[in-house]
């Protein structure tokens, strides 16, 4: 046997790049996704409600009431509830008039449709998948009988939640699967977690008129304030027709940035102390100090969706 003087070198085997991990809880009630960076999102199938979104450093970005019902008995107080097909209290005589406040999407159990991920070399270390998308579905065939009897239209909702480094993108596709048109509204009821509401300001809406829902004498249309929103009492405002980026600052330092696609309205809300006391599922008692709702939606008027058509809108939240 002749021995070779030069043996071929072994082909190096590269370690597998880290990928997002997606799991379903043992009780089949929630879906959890984690990126190689440590960014994490947790979604309750009841309402397809995002109940936790953490950055790579472990910092929680969403407020969740410690009295929130996570057993499917009522809509979740906190996180990102999905509002559809109406915002607020129902209007008598309208086709949504028999529905509960904020509709049925947040109080229905959604189907988990699966995940997809995108590759990127931008991650530190040896790269890997930079984002993961979770898809959830809801249609007239899986909502409960109360919702079907109150709103008998045929529809399909696809809700996508995309987690990437320090960023969360939520988008909703609304399909009218019947031949007749129907009206709807939609909103992401996002509870952002902050440290001290007295040090928070919201910019990007200075030039936008709004509906003030807590002013004496009832809801009142108000002109643009020309200044950042600050908080000294209960605040509940609906800003209409704005396409600017919204920034939430704390102690003058940017904490969140919110960009919107096809969602021209923004609700800014903090219940303050007295309103919080009146909500049985709100806690801790001083929890209002550590939350602010910046809610992207289309709620200033009804949108009409023709039979066979699909509408889509979304929000992109960046933790700074």
pLDDT in tens, 110-147: 999 999 998 654 444 434 558 999 999 999 999 999 99
pLDDT at 1 exceeding the cut of 90: no
Q: Which are the contacts of 184, defined by CB distance < 8 A and separation ≥ 6?
A: 84, 85, 86, 96, 174, 302, 303, 305
The average pLDDT across 198-226 equals 96
> Which tokens in the block code for residue 131?
């984002």
Per-position DSSP letters for 117-181, written without gaps between them: EEEES-SSSS-EEEEEEEEEEEETTTS-HHHHHHS---EEEEEEEEEETTEEEEEEEEEE-SSS-
Residue of 189, 267, 270 lying closest to 233 (CA atoms): 270
Peptide bond into 231 cis (omega under 30): no
Peptide bond into 284 cis (omega under 30): yes
CB atoms within 10 A of CB 218: 8
Per-residue pLDDT at 4: 55
Q: CA-CA distance, 103 to 157, in Å (whole number)?
A: 13
Whether the CA torsion 90, 233, 265, 191 is positive or negative: it is negative
DSSP state of 274: H
- The residues that are catalytic are 189, 295
pLDDT, greater one: 216 or 175: 175
pLDDT at 17 exceeding the cut of 80: no
Contact status, residue 257 vs residue 246, Cβ threshold 8 Å? yes
Per-residue pLDDT at 11: 63
CA neighbours within 13 Å on the CB side: how many for 114?
2
Residue of 299, 205, 301 lying closest to 244 (CA atoms): 205
Q: What is the mean pLDDT of the chain?
A: 93
Residue of 264, 275, 272, 313 lying closest to 292 (CA atoms): 272
β-bridge pairing 310-319 and 200-203: unpaired
CB atoms within 10 A of CB 269: 20
Per-position DSSP letters for 156-171, written without gaps between them: EEEEEEEEETTEEEEE
Per-residue pLDDT at 119: 64
Share of the chain above pLDDT 70, in %: 92
Per-residue pLDDT at 2: 52
Q: What is the distance in angstroms between the CA of the first residue and the CA of the last residue of the chain?
A: 67
pLDDT at 184 exceeding the cut of 70: yes
Band of pLDDT at residue 15, cut at 50, 70 and 90: low
């Amino acid at each position: 046997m002749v021995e070779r003087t030069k043996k071929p070198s072994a082909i190096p085997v590269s370690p597998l790049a880290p990928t997002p991990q997606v799991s379903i809880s043992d009780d089949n009630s929630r879906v959890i996704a984690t990126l190689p960076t440590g960014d994490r999102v947790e979604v309750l199938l009841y309402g397809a409600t995002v109940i936790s979104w953490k950055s790579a450093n472990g910092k929680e970005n969403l407020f969740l009431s410690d009295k929130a019902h996570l057993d499917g008995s009522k809509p979740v107080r906190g996180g990102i509830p999905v509002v559809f097909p109406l915002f607020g209290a129902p209007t008598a005589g309208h086709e949504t008039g028999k529905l509960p406040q904020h509709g049925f999407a947040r109080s229905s159990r959604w189907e988990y449709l699966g995940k997809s991920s995108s590759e990127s070399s931008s991650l530190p270390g040896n790269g890997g998948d930079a984002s993961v998308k979770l898809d959830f579905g809801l249609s007239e065939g899986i909502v409960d009988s109360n919702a079907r009897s109150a709103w008998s239209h045929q529809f399909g909702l696809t809700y996508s939640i995309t987690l990437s480094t320090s960023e969360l993108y939520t988008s909703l596709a609304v399909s009218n699967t019947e031949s007749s048109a129907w009206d709807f509204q939609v909103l992401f009821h996002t509870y952002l977690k902050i440290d001290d509401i007295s040090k928070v300001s919201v910019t990007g809406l200075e030039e936008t008129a709004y509906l003030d829902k807590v002013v004496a004498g009832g809801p009142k249309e108000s002109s643009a304030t020309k200044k950042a929103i600050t908080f000294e009492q209960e605040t509940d405002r609906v800003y209409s027709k704005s396409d600017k980026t919204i920034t939430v600052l704390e102690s003058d330092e940017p904490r969140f940035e919110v960009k919107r696609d096809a969602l021209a309205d923004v609700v800014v809300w903090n219940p303050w102390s007295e309103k919080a006391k009146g909500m049985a599922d709100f806690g801790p008692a001083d929890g209002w100090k550590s939350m602010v709702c910046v809610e992207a939606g289309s709620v200033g008027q009804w949108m009409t969706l023709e039979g066979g058509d699909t509408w889509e809108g979304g929000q992109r939240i960046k933790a700074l």
